[in-house]
Amino acid sequence: MFLKTQRRDQVGGKFEVVTVNNGKDYQDLDQDQSIVSSANLDTQTTLGFTLPTRNIFWSVGGSPPFNPDLTTPYNTNEPYLEWLTYILGQPQAQIPKVITTSYGDNEQTVPLSYARRVCKGFAALGARGVSVIFSSGDFGVGKTGFCYANDGQQLALIGATENFFPEVAVSEGGPGGFNSGGGFSNYFATPKWQKNQVQRYLNYLGPQTYNGLYNRTGRGFPDVSAQGAKYVIAWQQSFLTVGGTSASAPTFASIIALLNDYSMSLGGPSLGYLNPWLYSEGYRGLNDVIGGSSSGCNTTGFAAIRGWDPVTGLGTPNFRKLQRLIQPWSMAMAQQNSRF
């Protein structure tokens, strides 16, 4: 139904469902929208952008160790370690070059030791040439009265924008109807590849703005953004208009998948671990977003400014610019590989 209206050239295209550790495979039409609408948004977005590229959807059972907080009193956290154990055990040829998820946990709801172990697993994927992409959340700097961060050093974290000419950070009062997540980690320090950009933003804020409400030495997020408002999905034989960083993350992931395809057509490799490249070179292929903010916690939150900011990151992808940016690298890598 979705492909008949959105990708008529790919009607009949499919994705694979793989269950891990007794994960659920919801296929009934009468499922509650809150359970599977986000999964439908993820899969339909990537299918719309990337078919006929192979798409795999994983459903994973299990739950991590848990520290309850005010916003998460019950353990609804994601079984990342179970999934990482599975995917890292697969042959190299069976691991996709781009992996995206729109399901995130508040960092303080898992032990620091567990968070570090999971991030080491994501680092192992990056070392195997995989780009791992996560959404940054839909509550700005935090729900009113409950402020938190959701992050990972080994992940490319994706915020959301809305409108065009100008494109601005998505907002609860705008077409998107939510606030793009962003801020600074309390678990992980600012990595070296973003230190200069984060420090520039901290200089803009000054030492007194929101003093004590965020960690000035923490990993800043998101890294980049993409459109996150007014997506159409097929749901129970009709169409819904939805949005969220659950839309912007698979959108950005799809663009990376298409760039990988372009690089490989030139004989080059996949882009792999994205963050060092995004901050050193890739930002030249992005549209800087300088409007909007990440409202929350009874504040206007952080403002989007020129360069990196904890609302829209480095900006949104410009596919043609990114293609031109990676072309020399892909061709150089192809030439280098031909010597061996």
pLDDT tens digits for 267-319?
A: 999 999 999 999 999 999 999 999 999 999 889 999 999 999 999 999 999 99
Can you give the pLDDT at residue 145? Answer: 44
| pLDDT > 90? residue 36 | no
Ordered DSSP codes for 176-199: T-SB---EEEEEEEPPGGGHHHHH
Give this prediction's pTM: 0.95
Can you give the pLDDT at residue 29? Answer: 65
Compute CA distances 235 → 8, 61, 145, 241, whole Å: 18, 24, 33, 10
Looking at every residue in the chain, the average pLDDT score rounds to 93
Higher pLDDT, 24 or 312: 312
Q: Return d(Cα 80, Cα 61) in angstroms, integer.
A: 10
Question: Sign of the CA dihedral 242, 46, 10, 286?
Answer: positive
Domains of the chain: 15-26+35-335 (3.40.50.200)
Can you give the pLDDT at residue 128? Answer: 96
Can you give the pLDDT at residue 147? Answer: 47
pLDDT tens digits for 40-91?
A: 999 999 999 999 999 999 999 999 999 998 888 999 889 999 999 999 999 9
pLDDT tens digits for 97-119?
A: 999 999 888 888 999 999 999 99
- 153-157, 273-277, 286-290, 326-330: least confident range: 153-157
| Residues 46 and 258: beta-carbon distance below 8 Å | no
Higher pLDDT, 34 or 181: 181
Task: State the amino acid at position 231 in one-letter form.
Answer: Y
With b for 16 or more beta-carbon neighbours within 10 A and e for fewer, the 95-130 pattern comes to ebbbbbbbbbbbbbbbeeebbeebbebbbebbebeb
Other C-beta atoms closer than 10 Å to the C-beta of 289 total: 24
Can you give the pLDDT at residue 338? Answer: 79
Can you give the pLDDT at residue 30? Answer: 64
Q: Which SS3 state, helix, strand or coil, does residue 173 take?
A: coil
Q: Return d(Cα 204, Cα 319) in angstroms, integer.
A: 30
Residue stretches of the annotated binding site: 288-289, 307, 309
Can you give the pLDDT at residue 149? Answer: 47
Residue stretches of the annotated binding site for Ca(2+): 288-289, 307, 309
Q: Return d(Cα 340, Cα 318) in angstroms, integer.
A: 34
Average pLDDT of span 127-148? 82
Q: Return d(Cα 151, Cα 181) in angstroms, integer.
A: 10
Share of the chain above pLDDT 90, in %: 84
Compute CA distances 298 → 49, 139, 171, 295, 305, whole Å: 37, 12, 14, 8, 21
Distance of CA 1 to the CA centre of its chain: 26
Compute φ and ψ for 192, nearest 5 degrees: -65, -30
| Residues 326 and 259: beta-carbon distance below 8 Å | yes
